[in-house]
Structure 1
């Protein structure tokens, strides 16, 4: 039995709407996308296989929101209470506002398994997939909470590295992975970006800061637009020029110059 038949048959046996459900299961197992009570937004969600997986993982205390031009058939009572669907264009502000309202302005994970209509021309299909991935990325930046995660499908090709670099600038780290359930002949990969950064600084920045306090580990504590920066060896009351060395979602580290 071919592997593609295995995942198709498995989805039918286990009640998933698409074989792609297993891709998301495998991404989550490898990268830890979901937690109980999370709010998840799935872009291009029809027919709803990824919504089913996300709903299982976040549980009844979570919220799962699917966005698509196409109508997504209602779910049975098992998931219905915590899956909401929005019919619209993810790039339009009205649709994003509906997402924010449904999510309560706190989104933990944004997903996109979108693919372009295939032409058979490899470079054109790659370019279109990158365009869709960028649209999903821009939406993720608009709606994701600090520390949130993003996973997006894209076809391999010349523009993949640039896309990954742009995503890396907005998250703590990014991994490229291919789930076992992807078809052998497919050129698809998934970029999984962890821990959305909303800090006003990035590694390599040089700035002048005032040390307001000293932490328990002896590092000076400075604030940059409300963001906490730990400065190695600095004392309270000092004003120092520093280079930012590491940025996490809610704090960062710097070294005096």
Structure 2
């Protein structure tokens, strides 16, 4: 209580009618990254008490759904679900509300119950963030956006790398409204990929042509891949280093045959 009394965002939330000071974190995240646009369908995981739901409703004006293990006090024009985001029945309820199109944005400001043991709290935070990430993969439309809170620590890099593998752009951000003594940070994934290839994975590909920049051009399940230092006709084992919605970039791991060899076909 004493800390809250010294906290300007606490008093701003009281004045502005928000249920949580965290409302300003979402406003600041959205101002910088534009993750929620007008008429977006937004799903908030771990939404109680509802501060992010209030801001999501204001930013979108479209369908907004909140999910939490606890009951969320009703908010006008917001649908709520009492359920576990790791449960398929909860995922199905979300999909029933957002429709076949899926959600445009999934957000999560949930935090684990704090034990005071930092290693344990960090691990619980990563576990919760992974649950939100896995849920987002089931309910986000291709090209959708994702925001989740995590606590920094030695497991953070592995988690953000996982998000990077599924989104075109991934950033870590600490909004001004976060308390200075907090170890929380927000991971923002923009434009979820829906492709047959993943960043960091290895594939075999035949180079079919040359691109305008001189890179070799092949395909994996019909998906275009640009390969540096590759020649037409080569069969290669390549490692994908970057994925975009309509194409990927890869580097040669191994040359599997010689383009001048007539048996290569």
Same fold (TM over 0.5): yes
Two-structure CA RMSD over aligned residues (Å): 2.9
CA contact (8 A) 2:112 2:121 kept: yes
Q: Once the 2 structures are TM-superposed, how far is the Cα of residue 160 of structure 1 from its aligned partner?
A: 1.1
Question: 65-74 or 225-234: which moved more?
Answer: 225-234
In structure 1, the residue matched to 2:98 is: 103
Q: Once the 2 structures are TM-superposed, how far is the Cα of residue 9 of structure 1 from its aligned partner?
A: 1.0
In structure 1, the residue matched to 2:34 is: 32
Q: Distance in 1 between matches of 2:152 and 2:241?
A: 31
Q: Distance in 2 between matches of 1:86 and 1:226?
A: 39
Q: Once the 2 structures are TM-superposed, how far is the Cα of residue 64 of structure 1 from its aligned partner?
A: 1.1
In structure 1, the residue matched to 2:82 is: 87
For residues 134-158 of structure 1, give each alpha carbon's deviation from its aligned partner in whole angstroms, at most 9, with x where no partner exists. Answer: 1111111222121211111111112
In structure 2, the residue matched to 1:14 is: 16
In structure 2, the residue matched to 1:53 is: 55
In structure 2, the residue matched to 1:224 is: 220
| Cα 1:150/1:85, change in 2 over 3 Å | same
Q: How many residues align?
A: 247
For residue 185 of structure 1, the aligned residue among 171, 181, 185 is 181
In structure 1, the residue matched to 2:65 is: 65
Q: Once the 2 structures are TM-superposed, how far is the Cα of residue 254 of structure 1 from its aligned partner?
A: 5.6
Gaps of 5+ in 2: 256-265
Q: Distance in 2 between matches of 1:209 and 1:201?
A: 15
| Cα 1:253/1:128, change in 2 over 3 Å | closer
For residue 5 of structure 1, the aligned residue among 7, 12, 31 is 7
- Give me the TM-score of the superposition, normalised by structure 2: 0.81
CA contact (8 A) 2:207 2:216 kept: no
Q: Secondary structure at the match of 1:116?
A: coil
| Cα 1:164/1:234, change in 2 over 3 Å | closer
Gaps of 5+ in 1: none
Q: Distance in 1 between matches of 2:154 and 2:230?
A: 45
| Cα 1:239/1:57, change in 2 over 3 Å | farther
- Give me the TM-score of the superposition, normalised by structure 1: 0.83
